[in-house]
Amino acid sequence: MSTEAIPLPFQDGQDPRTRAAAARALDPRSLRAVFMDLIGRPPRQSEVGEWLGRGRGELLDELLGGEEFWGHWWHEQLYYFLLIDNFRPRTRAAKEVPERLAQGRLHYRDALHQAALTPTFDLRNPGADTFVTVVMEQFCGLVVQDKASELEIGKVAYEGGKGRFLGTTAENQADVIRICVEHREASRHFLAREHQRLLRVELDSKQLRADAGRLHRDPWAYLAVVREWLLSEAYDQRLRDLVPKSNTLFVRCLFVDLLDRLPEDDELEPLRNALDGLADSRPLRSVVVRLLLDSGRAAVPRKQDIPDPTRWVAAQFPRFLGRDATDEELGVFVSAFHEEGCEPGTILYALLSHSEYQSY
Amino acid sequence: MLPTASLDRRTLLRASTLLGAGAALPSSLLAGAMAPLRPDRKTKRVVLVAFAGGVRTRETFGTPANVPNMRQMADEGVLYTNVATSNLGHFGATMSIFTGISEPRGIRENARGNDPTLFEYLRKGLDLPKQDVWVTTTGGAQQVNYSYSLHPEYGARYGANILDGDGIFNKEFKDMLSAWGMPQPVEPGERALLDRLRRGVGGGEDAAREAEQLARVEDYILGELSRGTTDISGAAAGDRKALRLARNLLSLFKPRMLGVVLQNADVAHGSFNAYSEVVRQNDAAIGELMTAIREDEELRDSTAVLVVPEFGRDRDLNSRRGLDHGDGSEDLRRVSCVAWGPDFKRGVETGRDQRVIDVVGTVCELFGAEAPLAKGGRLQGLYA
């Protein structure tokens, strides 16, 4: 059967056939949010044109499981383990993790196992007590104070002794890691925190039990589980509620929105560290916005090159906030635009340093 | 609203410049007349240093040569030598100093707690503005969680300002600002325009007021970046930055409550000698803070300072000639706490049983606030 399209006998805009709207059609806000949740950045302008109005399921097909998805996922996992800055794994194997995940040569559990085997994980968690405590807590979600005897056995194994640790024989540090990574509780704990990360709410206990059981039996099922979550009513609700951007996401968004590129590691890390250094990072986020706007590297048009200020101002709201400006907002901004001393950069600075841009 | 420091942005910028030049700041420039919160007390401000990272008494008051400044504080105040702690990991144990509740927390947990902190008790109970409660830290992302809890009756609206010295004032960030071009403070005319625009994007007057508060912090950070804090390096650099920031904040904002959270002593896992050096360096930085207090006529007779570790360290060296924290020994579970201030006894050393979670109740009592959910008591025998 030929797949060549047959020309339709209608002029543009006069096709009388019923067209069904795409299921969960993407508007500017949900499009930005899905991009940010899955690959940690907003869509580029070209991608906005490509995806607006299409279905969320289609976008998931495109993004889930790709190298950019896994790169973002890996970055989030390293941050969870606080393997950042000096503790960021720099081995070749660690750098190749996203690529190998995307190629289906690793599943998520292998990747987490690899994170715990990096030299920097050991450096980050020095000594038997800290190390065993951290793997029990971070992989299995155990409250170590309630598992004092397991901790002691784990410490003995860490030092090279033999013991039955969490139900399995362990006799070295590698065994301690493997037992925790492969433990049934690790599947449950991983999914619970992934659901919190992506949907910002706890997964109900019945669903968590079912999903965790499935994942424990088949670690390759992770992407299918995430796809189901992102097509659920719970995710519909999450998209209706604005949630705060992490500092990492804020920096990545700002770079893409203003420079049309992602920050390099040596740009992202100092900015994120600085922002992480404040309980309320908004004052410093403003500084970072000005840093980019004033750098001359952002494509900010000159005032005299904007022939239609109303149209230009109106376009900035969906571009940065994922929504149209109200008439009142447009009035205030356009009026300000015409004042002496107001430059296009001033308009952008007001929007990008506004609390609404801090959420998505 | 209680009388408190109130700065407009222009004054703040002027003050920042003076501070950068090392000038002594006239109190009248920065702080309005501030009364004690309890008429029967002289204390108007409290500095609480969580000497966290795991510090044994053996290397502090057990080796006076390491800590001449804290020793002097003890000679002029009260030293508690038998303060019980719980080995809850650094994050949980330090959190317990601020909540007054010993509760397990993951060592690498990066989330807020459910129990209100000292800062929330003070801000809510005494109606203190945010600029009156500051915390400086050195432990990065995790430690900003000390700012406030998730408790529904407290939370973010009563949180402290937190600055992590090593996160913000590090060479990489400063280099990046230099390479991209250090942003200049916004001119007054542009600021007015921005305020109008921000007011125009929902939020109204509240958003504009909040933006003004944030702008003050923004200006402070820009000013601090041009001072020497960024250039501190070497042993305990992170801790010394936190203490330097505390000193500058105390001089500039004169907040009611200033917390400092240290962390670098944890190098002990790998090296006892490096750990001992951190103790010495931190004592020297605490000495600088004390000097700033003693030399400021507004601060010297109105500021109380408490220093307390979150827990100690193991009794014996590990195989790397370092010290871990997990043996359950007295060295780990008992620490020393020093309290210095105008309302406290002088030259008293006591071995009575206390707990690190008693600090919250003590500070609240000093200010006349309540800590209804804290489970600790008070430091006994403290007042003159």
Least confident interval from B67-76, B192-201, B254-263: B192-201
Which of B107, B167, B203 is closest, CB to CB, to A130? B107
Task: Please tell me whether residue A83 adopts helix, strand or coil conformation.
Answer: coil
Run of H or E residues at B335: strand B334-340
What was the pLDDT predicted at B175?
87
pTM above 0.90, yes or no: no
User: What is the distance in angstroms between the Cα of A273 and the nearest Cα belonging to chain B?
Assistant: 5
Write the ipTM.
Answer: 0.76
**For residues B168-178, average pLDDT:** 86
Q: Pick from B169, A310, A344, B210: which is nearest to A352 by CA?
A: A344
CB A153 within 8 A of CB A164: yes
Give the H or E element holding residue A258: helix A247-259
pLDDT confidence of residue B178: 86
Tokens of B114: 């459910």
Helix (H, G, I), strand (E, B) or coil at B83: strand
Whole-Å CA distances, A279 to A274, B63, B130, B161: 11, 36, 12, 6
Chain A closest CA to B173's CA: distance in Å? 5
Number of alpha helices (DSSP H) and beta strands (DSSP E) in chain B: 13, 9
Please tell me the least confidently modeled range out of A289-293, B168-172, B340-344, B379-383.
B168-172
pLDDT at B72: 98
Residue B149 in contact with residue B99, Cβ under 8 Å?
Answer: yes
At A349 the three-state DSSP class reads helix
If residue A165 lies in a helix (H) or strand (E), which one and from where to where? strand A163-165
Domains plus CATH for chain B?
A: 45-169+232-367 (3.40.720.10), 171-229 (no CATH)
Q: Is the distance from CB of A132 to CB of A151 less than 8 angstroms? A: yes
B30 falls in which pLDDT band (50, 70, 90)? very low
Instruction: Check whether B31 has a pLDDT greater than 90.
Output: no
Q: How many percent of chain A have pLDDT more than 70?
A: 94
Put simply, whether B325 touches A (Cβ < 8 Å) is yes
B357 CA to chain A: closest CA distance, Å?
18
Q: Return the minimum-mean-pLDDT range out of A7-16, A46-55, A122-131, A150-159.
A: A7-16
∠ CA B115-A206-A108 to the nearest 5 degrees?
Answer: 85
Rounded to whole angstroms, the Cα distance separating B27 from B341 reads 19
| Half-sphere exposure in the Cβ direction for B322 (13 Å, CA) | 17
Q: Which residue has the higher pLDDT, A353 or B22?
A: A353
Q: How confident is the model at residue B207 (pLDDT cuts 50, 70, 90)?
A: low
More confident residue, B22 or B369: B369
CA distance from start to end of chain B: 29
- Say if the Cβ atoms of B163 and A273 lie within 8 Å: no
Better-predicted residue by pLDDT, B140 or A297: A297
Quick one: average pLDDT of B325-330?
Answer: 93
| DSSP character string of B8-23 | -HHHHHHHHHHHHTTP
pLDDT at B13 > cutoff 70: no
Q: Which residues contact B154 (CB under 8 A, 6 or more apart)?
A: B116, B117, B120, B121, B124, B148
Q: Helix A148-158 to helix A173-182 angle, to the nearest 10 degrees?
A: 140
Closest of B146, B161, B255 to residue A283, by C-alpha? B161
B383: nearest Cα among B343, B341, B347, B355: B343
Contact (CB<8Å) A270/B144: no
What pLDDT, on a 0 to 100 scale, did the predictor assign at position B24? 39
Tens of pLDDT, residues B102-131: 988 888 888 889 999 999 999 999 999 988
Q: How many CB atoms lie within 10 A of CB A86?
A: 9
Contact B108 A339 (CB under 8 A): no
Residues of B in contact with A277 (CB under 8 A): 137, 140, 144, 162-168
The alpha carbon torsion through B362, B130, B260, B264 (nearest 10 deg) reads 140
**Would you state the pLDDT for residue A14?**
58
Mean pLDDT of B125-145: 90
> Would you call B209 an interface residue with chain A, using a CB distance cutoff of 8 Å?
no
Cα(A353)–Cα(A341) distance, integer angstroms: 19
* Helix runs in chain B, H state only: 9-20, 27-30, 68-75, 89-99, 118-126, 165-168, 171-180, 188-200, 204-225, 237-252, 272-294, 330-333, 358-367
Question: Alpha-carbon distance A108 to A186, whole Å?
Answer: 12
Question: Which amino acid appears at position A242 of this protein?
Answer: L
- Rounded CA gap, B6 and B131, in Å? 9
Residues in chain B: 384
Looking at residue A195, what is its pLDDT?
Answer: 98
Q: Which chain A positions have a beta carbon within 8 Å of B137's beta carbon? A: 277
- What's the gap in Å between the CA of B359 and the closest CA on chain A? 22
Class of domain A247-358: mainly alpha
Which of A269, A280, A356 lies closest to B201 in CB terms?
A356
* Phi, psi angles (nearest 5°) of residue A24: 50, 55
Is the model's pLDDT at A18 over the cut of 80? no
Q: Which two tokens stand for residue B282?
A: 């931190």
- pLDDT given for residue A122 in this prediction: 94
Please report, for chain A, the start and end positions of each structural domain, with discontinuous segments joined by +: 28-63, 186-240, 247-358
So what's the pLDDT on residue B203?
A: 60
More confident residue, B218 or A173: A173
Continuous segment of H or E residues that includes residue A314:
helix A309-321
Paired strand residues for B308 = B50
pLDDT of amino acid B88 = 80
Q: How far is A287 from chain B (nearest CA, A)?
A: 7
In the prediction, which pLDDT does A1 show?
41
**Concatenated DSSP letters of B306-327:** EEE-S----SS--TTS---S-S
Tokens (6 digits) for A145: 């104070």
B192/A contact by beta carbon, under 8 A? no
Q: What is the predicted pLDDT for the residue at B103?
A: 81
pLDDT digits (tens, 9 = 90+) for A256-309: 999 999 999 999 999 999 999 888 898 899 999 999 999 999 989 999 999 999
Residue carrying structure tokens 């970072």: A288
